[in-house]
Amino acid sequence: MTQLRVCFIGDSITNGTGDTGFLGWPGWLCTAEVAAGHDLTDYNLGIRGDTSADLLPRWRAECVARLPASIHCAIVLNIGLNDATEQNGEIRVSLADSVRNLREILSGAKAMFPTLWVGPSAVDESKQPLVADTGERRDKRNGRTADYNLAFKTLAHELDVPYLDMLSKTINDPEWPALLSDGLHPLPAGHDRMAGHVGGWNAWRVLLDG
Amino acid sequence: MTQLRVCFIGDSITNGTGDTGFLGWPGWLCTAEVAAGHDLTDYNLGIRGDTSADLLPRWRAECVARLPASIHCAIVLNIGLNDATEQNGEIRVSLADSVRNLREILSGAKAMFPTLWVGPSAVDESKQPLVADTGERRDKRNGRTADYNLAFKTLAHELDVPYLDMLSKTINDPEWPALLSDGLHPLPAGHDRMAGHVGGWNAWRVLLDG
């Protein structure tokens, strides 16, 4: 049995928007690990609409408040999809800025705690663009996300941060579009599917199973 | 159908420590409201062990990052139980300091969004003290919590912030001790019980049903 406190940092997909059971994939993941005998604390720090630029000023204070330096803790990021999003005709965070923001965040995070990065997931392009309840018209395209995903993978390799290529896993999953509530946010079964990918990932297993 | 984004701010009981289903009472509450047709966003900002003194420097930045000023949002606090706790022979936050901290937090919060305050819950004294996994020996007594609860109620009345007397509801519930996992943290059914008290509270219902 391993005790572990985790800050899951991300956007609406980490928050679990669209999961009517209010777990998000981090909650599904933690529930499965506790059922397997581990003792996890789930700090869900997903914020709807967040980009890497939104994350930059908040991640450190939010993690420091939650993760005592004296015990086994980890940081898991799932960020980037909103960077690669066109909003009212403009890309929200350019690829260069996104990589720069994430380099700063990941360098700081891994200096504090074991840090993992879950890449962006695929959307159903036939349902794009979406209008957020805050009024913004946001358009996501898997081809554009793929450019970011490739750059994220390169950055993660350079920084020696484990990277889970969730885009490849979801875009190659013929069931994935049916697991989304609105072409973007996973339904409960979609969150469970994402949790399964993270739960079976070697970098995650090392945190729990040594 | 009402759309509402809520920051639930508190300690381990808000976080849902001990809820093997990883919802905490806010997740149970939101799940029930969504099943009833509402559209809620659950930002769970409970941190294990937090007192009002721990909350003071973080609540504002965490709420501002999550709650857009342009849409229907609310702040729900469930804090105070760790203030009224003896740790290694000392009270963690004196009653006077607790009231001063909460006056500052509540005054700031209600100036931004509708703000509700859920008071501390009862413990099973036969299981006290508890040793946290961070090593602290913490002792909670319902009589001491009752002193804080009374002062909190007075403060809430003065600030015109709705206050739910969760101590009275739980201490007068003969089933409550059996709904706790360790004499402090509710089991899933205990979180569901707390969610039912909040969900039936007029101040909460006004947020959703107008």
Closest in A22, A41, A68 to B31, CB measured: A22
For A61, A124, B53, B110, the CA distances from B173, given in Å and listed in that order, are 38, 49, 30, 31
Q: What is the DSSP letter of B16?
A: T
pLDDT score, position B210:
80
CA distances from B133 to A24, A41, B137 (A): 26, 12, 10
Question: B35 contacts in A (CB within 8 Å)?
Answer: 20
| Cβ-Cβ contacts under 8 Å, B58 against chain A | 61-62, 65
Q: Pick the closest to residue A28 from A209, A163, A199, A182 (CA basis).
A: A199
Read off the pLDDT of residues A66-85 as tens digits, 9 standing for 90 and up. 999 999 999 999 999 999 99
Task: Please state whether the predicted TM-score (pTM) of the whole model is above 0.90.
Answer: yes
Of the candidates B23, B44, B134, the beta carbon closest to that of A71 is on: B134
Contacts of A54 in chain B (CB under 8 A): 65
| The pLDDT value given to residue A210 | 80
User: How far does the CA of residue A34 sit from the closest CA of chain B (Å)?
Assistant: 7
> Phi, psi (5° rounding) for residue B194?
-60, -45
Which residues in A lie closer than 8 A to residue B62 (C-beta atoms)? 58, 62
What pLDDT is stored for residue B132 in this prediction? 83
Does the pLDDT value for residue A132 go beyond 90? Answer: no
**Which residues neighbour B204 within 8 Å (Cβ) at sequence distance 6 or greater?**
B76, B116, B198
Residue of A nearest to B54 (CA): A65
Closest chain B residue by Cα to residue A26: B22
CB nearest to B17's CB, from A35, A41, A71 = A41
What tokens appear for A162 in the block?
A: 């484990």
Confidence of residue A37 (pLDDT cuts 50, 70, 90): very high
The answer to whether A116 and A162 have CB atoms below 8 angstroms apart is yes
By percentage, how much of chain A surpasses pLDDT 70? 100
What distance in Å separates residue A70's CA from the closest CA in chain B? 7
Q: How much is the ipTM here?
A: 0.96
Token pair listed for B180: 């706790």
Rounded CA gap, B97 and B134, in Å? 24
Of A47, A70, A133, the CB nearest to B3: A133
Test mutation, B4, B22, B67, B73, chain A, max A CBs within 10 A: B22
Please count the residue pairs, one from chain A and one from chain B, whose beta carbons lie less than 8 angstroms apart.
Answer: 68
CA–CA gap between residue B92 and residue B108 (Å, rounded): 23
Question: Mind giving me the DSSP string for A46-110?
Answer: E-TT--HHHHTTTHHHHHHHH--TTS-EEEEEE--TTTTEEETTEESS-HHHHHHHHHHHHHHHH
Q: What is the pLDDT of residue A133?
A: 80
State how far the Cα of B1 lies from the Cα of A27, in Å rounded to an integer: 26
Residues on chain B bordering chain A, Cβ-to-Cβ distance under 8 angstroms: 3, 5, 15-17, 20-23, 27, 30-31, 34-35, 41-44, 47-48, 54, 58, 61-62, 65-66, 68, 70-71, 133-135
* Cβ distance of B27 and A31 shorter than 8 Å: no
CA A163 to mean position of chain CA atoms: 11
Cα gap B137→A197, rounded to integer Å:
38
The pLDDT of residue A134 is above 90: no
- Which pLDDT belongs to residue B15? 97
| pLDDT for A69 | 92
User: What pLDDT sits at residue A125?
Assistant: 95
User: Which residues from chain A sit within 8 angstroms of residue B21, using beta carbons?
Assistant: 31
Stretches where chain B sits below pLDDT 70 are none
Instruction: Answer whether residue A135 shows pLDDT above 90.
Output: no
Which band of pLDDT confidence, cut at 50, 70 and 90, is reported for residue A57? very high
- How many other CB atoms sit within 10 Å of the CB of residue A110? 16
Look at residue A18 in the predicted model and tell me its pLDDT: 83
Beta-strand pair B137-140/B90-91: unpaired
State the smallest CA–CA distance between residue B62 and chain A in angstroms. Answer: 8
**CA dist list (Å): A44 to A197, A199, B37, B194:** 18, 16, 24, 21
Residues of A in contact with B23 (CB under 8 A): 21-23, 27
Q: Find residue B62's DSSP bridge partners.
A: none
